[in-house]
Structure 1
Amino acid sequence: MIQTSQGLAEYLDNCQGDFRGLDTEADSLHRYHEKLCLLQFTDGENHALIDPLAIEDLSPLTKFLETASIWMHGADYDIVMMRRDLEVVPPVIWDTQIAARLLGVRQFGYANLVQHYLDIELSKASQKADWSQRPLTEKMEQYAINDVRYLKPMAEIMIASLKEKGRYEWFVESCDNAREKVLERPQSKEDPWRISGSGKMNPKGLAYLRALWYWRDTEAAEWDRPSFMVCGNKQLIAWVNQVLKGQTPELPKHFRSQRRKNFFKAITEVQELPDNKLPQRKKAGPKRIKDDGFDDRVNALMEKRDAVAAELDIDSSLIIARAVIESLAANEVEPAEVLMKWQVELLGL
């Protein structure tokens, strides 16, 4: 466990070879204000746990990552965490999950891949642990180190297989594309209260949902627990529907009195809102114009995709998603705007 800036600098300076692997752990399952709690690092031979909660100056790591090529698994969330908490994302990220999918592996979780490629069974006992706790238990340390311990041997097998199958260039392009897509996402979501199930609600229902969403968010923040620990999204929708029917929502018995009071206060405030203050449904985009050949073009491209996927023995959605097929069939986009080069070539577009 590295807990000082000096120790971090010495470790990074002494890394051997050109392989670098990284994983991260956060406390999102246990805290409202989630934070980066642990980084696991490896050069393929020497593995280390880096403690960002103890190290005041992480600049040796951030400077290193500015120019690094890093191997990770399922890097999407890790990229989000690094951008937010470290303010740096490595320029090159090789992802074993992407490699596995391009090789036709259907179960591509990290433990699945370690079992598949190395015949080693990993424990999942600390998967939902609170990584902000200190000291870490021996079991948690072992779990964390295992998340990078096997990256190098798996990567070597995968690269050899990708090159043998002529898919290595696909892998390079796919990793770069995946990294860019994460970085293109806005860091904060507009109207986060517009959750699944809200699309058909009238303005009054949307107002209740918005109020209860922010009620839950405030409760979770004050408690410093994830919002799902207050209640789930489905429960919010159910309460809104009850209120719209003139019913009084029945709250869980474990809710403290102040939480109940705040809940009904939020509902009352909505009841007093004038119509011009109610949120509106989101306007649908322009309706897709389907000419007589639209369905034929969709079906032809679907058949082409499925045939290519079957021949390559990979998931067809890796080649092209149905939504993209429909956009192409409607002439709304050009192939190069929505597909990678290798996908365009496979589909003959």
Structure 2
Amino acid sequence: MSESPAPEPVLERLTEPEDGVPHVITTERELLECARAVAAGTGPVALDAERASGYRYGQRAYLVQVRRDDAGTWLIDPIALPDLSPLDEAIGTAEWLLHAATQDLPCLAEVGLRPRQLFDTELGARLLGLPRVGLAAVVEHYLGVSLAKEHSAVDWSTRPLPTPWLRYAALDVEVLAEVRNLMGVDLAAQDKSEWARQEFDALLSWAPAVREEPWRRISGLHKVRGARALGIARELWYARDAIARDRDISPGRVVPDAALVAITQAAPSSTADLPTGHRGIARYGRDWVAAVARARALSDAELPEPTVRSDAPPPPRAWADRDPLAAARLTHVREQLATFAEDRSIPVENVLTPDSLRRVLWSPPEPATPEAFDDALAALDARPWQREVVVPMIAAAVAEHPG
């Protein structure tokens, strides 16, 4: 008779912050008290921000969490206190600890918080090749405890914030320092400390990309045919965005993308012609009809192009037909990158972004020297460590398949 598999161990669950649930700071006096405590603390500073992007317009922070050894955990309401520069001055050049820094850096900058150095535990987990890189998974890996995440998608613009949400928010920053220390040991053991330093330094100047035509991200836009219909979809997107901004609600709560596509296909001349469905279609019916009318009034030259013009290389699947030598170069380097990534336990896209690789291999610089490849990748923001790894692979591939 075969034995039953051993049950999975039950992890201890973090349920209460070490010093209890802090109250939320809402006054200048309390902010200065927080700043003094943080300035007197020791070691790195753990930070986090909670947004309400699924409920409110934009990506602003509705709660900021800060923790430092010998200073404790502080929860700050950035709506009541939109200028946190006293805290920024208190932190000074101390290292920031963040998880998934690119999610929080923009909204923290909006309230006057900007790092001089940082450590991103999510990016560190990727460099180490951890199978899961969410905060709860990383905490489980390093600390052997379970971190509750059930409040991650709540409406953080709610006032007052419920105590269970504040407990969750405080725990998020409480664990970061210990995780960072253990992760730092692993990065050193795998000879990746310098890689991590370069990646973290690059985040200091990182900014989110600004999309020139954000309306093209409408889900289901592929169902819309013709330049005039695309013009209608564009006008509807901007009408929805204006409503969302004025009402301070998420655009998807005005009407979802599916409703925008349905209105586009109906092309109504009056509110009576609007399709049925989401309540926002009827509620803002005049706005949709006006948007359609604006699109109808556009000249042909003012209508959007059917597709976005791009300087990117063609999709890799088309390379074999359009440039067999480039396709051979791409296959050559991809195989070497995959081997390197597997040997070093790192996702291949963290060694070099696929877009950067395709750009350099599709149009190699002239002359095709290692120095030229290094310059080309540097212009695409590849880190020095990435260029050191990849340039020899690219140079060898181009030498074998010149063209």
TM-score (norm: length of structure 2) = 0.76
* Aligned-CA RMSD value: 2.7
5+ long unaligned stretches in structure 2:
1-22, 366-372, 393-403
Select the structure with the greater relative contact order (CA < 8 A; seq sep ≥ 6): 1
Partner of 1:110: 135
State how far apart, in whole Å, the 1-side matches of 2:304 and 2:248 are.
Answer: 28
Report the residue type matching 1:9 in the other structure: L
Show CA shifts across 1:200-221 (max 9, x none). Answer: 8542122111111122123323
Find the aligned partners of 1:266 and 1:103 in 2 and give their Cα distance.
50
Report which stretch shifted further, 302-311 or 86-95.
86-95
Alignment partner of 1:50 out of 52, 55, 76: 76
Q: CA deviation at 1:119?
A: 1.5
2:240 alignment counterpart:
216
TM-score by length of 1: 0.87
Tell me, in whole angstroms, the C-alpha distance in 1 between the residues paired with 2:191 and 2:73: 32
CA deviation after TM superposition for structure 1 residue 191, in Å: 3.0
> Cα 1:130–1:258, aligned 2, differ >3 Å: closer, same or farther?
closer
CA distance 1:6–1:202, shift in 2 (3 Å): same
Larger Cα Rg: Structure 1 or Structure 2?
Answer: 2
The 2-side partners of 1:227 and 1:343 are apart by 39
Q: Tell me the equivalent position of 2:383.
A: 340
SS in 1 for 2:177: helix
| SS of residue matched to 2:216 | coil
Instruction: Tell me if 1:314 matches 2:338.
Output: no
* Equivalence for 2:336: 304
CA distance in 2, matches of 1:115, 1:4: 36
Match of 2:256 in 1: 232
For the residues of structure 2 that align with 1:222 and 1:10, how far apart are their CA atoms?
35
Partner residue, 2:27: 4
Q: 334-343 or 229-238: which moved more?
A: 229-238
Relative distance call for 1:154 and 1:260 in structure 2 (3 A) is: same
> Percent identity, aligned pairs only?
26
Q: Secondary structure at the match of 2:145?
A: coil
- Residue number in structure 2 paired with 1:326: 358
Amino acid at match of 2:388: E
Question: In the aligned structure 2, how far is the partner of 1:336 from the partner of 1:54?
Answer: 42
Which of residues 30, 35, 44 is equivalent to 2:60?
Answer: 35
Which sits farther off after the overlay, 94-103 or 174-183?
174-183
Measured after TM superposition, the shift of residue 82 of structure 1 is: 2.0
Residue 13 of structure 1 pairs with residue 13 of structure 2 = no
Offset, 1:69: 2.0
Which of 335-344 and 230-239 deviates more? Answer: 230-239
Counterpart pick for 2:215 among 185, 190, 193:
193
Aligned length: 342
Change (3 A) 1:278 1:306: same
1:79 equivalent in alignment to 2:121: no
- Show the counterpart of 1:63: 89
Q: Which amino acid aligns with 2:114?
A: V
Looking at structure 2, the residues matched to 94 and 137 of structure 1 have their Cα atoms a distance apart, in angstroms, of 30
Structure 2 match to 1:294:
326
Against the structure 1 CA distance between its residues 283 and 103, is the aligned structure 2 distance closer, same or farther, given a 3 Å change threshold?
A: closer
Residue by residue over 1:107-146, the C-alpha shift from the partner in whole angstroms, topping out at 9 and shown as x without a partner, is 1011111111112112222112222222221101111001
2:255–2:281 CA contact under 8 A, matched in 1: no
Confirm or deny: 8 A CA contact 2:237 2:260 kept in the other structure. yes
**In the alignment, which of 290, 294, 298 is matched to residue 273 of structure 1?**
298
Q: Is the 1:5–1:60 Cα contact (8 Å) retained in structure 2? A: no
2:183 alignment counterpart:
158
Task: Supply the distance in 2 between the matched residues of 1:53 and 1:224 (Cα, whole angstroms).
Answer: 13
1:43 aligned counterpart, secondary structure:
strand
Contact 2:352 2:386 in 1 (8 A): yes
Cα 1:292–1:30, aligned 2, differ >3 Å: closer, same or farther?
A: closer
1:284 positional shift = 4.1
Write out per-residue CA displacement over residues 68-114 of structure 1, whole angstroms, 9 at most, x where no aligned residue.
4201000112111122x224421212100011111111210111111
In structure 2, C-alpha distance between the alignment counterparts of 1:347 and 1:273, rounded to whole Å:
49
Give the gaps of 5 or more residues in structure 1. Answer: none
- My pick for the range that moved more, 273-282 or 213-222, is 273-282
**Which residue in 1 is equivalent to 2:18?**
none
Are the aligned partners of 1:5 and 1:55 in contact in 2 as well (CA < 8 Å)? yes
